[in-house]
């Protein structure tokens, strides 16, 4: 059964990267309607208004908020600049409403592929806009072939005073060696397992005890450093281990549990009810195809939830 789940996950991750498949699905009105129904579990909506409504609902449940306008791998400079304007509009609305959210983003969404100066200019605009909120920009993880570019760009932003945090992936073999660079940054470090389709010479398998052990080792190193750490996982075993092994750090407020919209909701609510710092991460926008399929691929049993969300009738036994 585990082999079947692994195969299903590989297929879903391949679909996530299949641009022709995405184009065909979204061009067909019936298929697009079904896809949007499935996405609604994981995506806050398509507009800034939708994002603000989601932020208010998350705050009312007692959690911190991180919002992301979804998109990545923008290869056109003008488009990268236009997408930056959407982030600026989001931050402006957050400021107007006094909603203390962090804003997450892929550097490749706002100019990374156009070069270091281009992405730095756009990211600094976001940094200047968010500074009055007293929150942070959170740089999201990207595929392993961009890790060096992401680290370099984030280090440059931090050196210029941007309130910026970094996401690191436990799966990547290189991550233990990257910790020194991550911890040299003043902002929070978000630790995720890593959802991208990666080869075995680059990353650990997505499931299994080896990845759990790696995650907990990295979490221990990050927490022991005294840095602010976001434990970003829906794995209850990992959460329980962090609570057990790092109780003092959790009580100090330096350790925050972060989960994605539509995933781990009950666990996150329970952690908040127990008095632990929590944050929910919500994305919005129209470019959610990659994100949603990767979320389902993390646990292929979510396909059954997707079928129910889509309103597709299953055959009776």
pLDDT of 314 > 70? The answer is: no
Q: pLDDT band for 317, please (50, 70, 90 cuts).
A: very low
pLDDT of 32 > 90? The answer is: no
Q: What is the dihedral of CA 256, 56, 82, 289, to 10 degrees?
A: 70
Percent of the chain with pLDDT over 90: 72
Strand partners, 138: 104, 165
Q: Is-contact 103 139, C-beta < 8 A?
A: no
Q: What local confidence, expressed as pLDDT, does residue 306 receive?
A: 75
69 versus 34: which is more confidently predicted? Answer: 69
Neighbours of 41 (CB within 10 A): 17
Q: What is the mean pLDDT of residues 261-279?
A: 93
In tens, the pLDDT along 180-233 reads: 999 999 999 999 999 888 999 999 998 789 999 999 999 999 999 999 999 999
Q: What local confidence, expressed as pLDDT, does residue 290 receive?
A: 73
User: Position of tokens 């959210």?
Assistant: 101
173 versus 305: which is more confidently predicted? Answer: 173
Q: What local confidence, expressed as pLDDT, does residue 312 receive?
A: 56
Q: What is the mean pLDDT of residues 151-163?
A: 98
List helix spans (H) across the chain: 2-16, 19-27, 29-39, 48-60, 77-97, 116-130, 147-159, 175-183, 209-224, 236-245, 247-252, 265-273, 289-298, 302-310
Assigned CATH for 43-287: 3.20.20.220
Q: pLDDT band for 155, please (50, 70, 90 cuts).
A: very high
Name the average pLDDT for the chain: 90
> Where along the chain do its domains lie?
1-42+290-311, 43-287
Distance CA 211, CA 216 (A): 9
Q: What local confidence, expressed as pLDDT, does residue 90 receive?
A: 98
Distance CA 42, CA 226 (A): 32
């Amino acid at each position: 059964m585990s082999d079947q789940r692994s195969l299903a996950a590989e297929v879903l991750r391949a679909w996530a990267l299949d641009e022709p498949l995405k184009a065909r699905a979204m061009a067909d009105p019936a298929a697009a309607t079904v896809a949007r129904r499935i996405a609604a579990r994981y995506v806050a909506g398509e507009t800034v208004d939708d994002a603000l409504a989601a932020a208010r609902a998350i705050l009312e449940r007692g959690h911190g908020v991180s919002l992301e306008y979804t998109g990545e791998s923008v290869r056109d400079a003008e488009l990268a600049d236009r997408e930056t304007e959407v982030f600026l509009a989001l931050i402006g609305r957050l400021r107007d409403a006094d909603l203390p959210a962090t804003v997450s983003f892929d550097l490749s969404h706002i100019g990374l592929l156009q070069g270091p100066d281009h992405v730095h200019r756009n990211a600094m605009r976001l940094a200047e806009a968010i500074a009055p909120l007293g929150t942070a920009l959170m740089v999201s993880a990207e595929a392993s072939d961009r890790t060096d570019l992401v680290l370099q760009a984030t280090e440059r932003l931090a050196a210029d005073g941007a309130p910026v945090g970094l996401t690191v992936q436990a799966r990547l073999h290189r991550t233990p060696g990257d910790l020194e660079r991550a911890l040299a940054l003043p902002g929070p470090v978000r630790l995720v397992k890593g959802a991208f389709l990666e080869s075995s010479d680059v990353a650990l398998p997505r499931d299994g005890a080896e990845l759990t052990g790696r995650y907990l080792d990295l979490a221990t190193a990050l927490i022991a450093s005294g840095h602010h750490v976001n434990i970003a996982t829906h794995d209850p075993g990992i959460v329980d281990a962090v609570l057990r092994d790092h109780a003092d750090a959790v009580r100090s407020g330096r350790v925050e549990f972060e989960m994605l919209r539509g995933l781990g909701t009950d666990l996150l609510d329970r952690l908040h009810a127990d008095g632990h710092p929590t944050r929910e991460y919500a994305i919005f926008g129209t470019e959610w195809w990659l994100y949603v399929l990767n979320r389902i691929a993390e646990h292929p049993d979510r396909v059954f939830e997707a079928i129910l969300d889509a309103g597709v009738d299953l055959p009776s036994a």
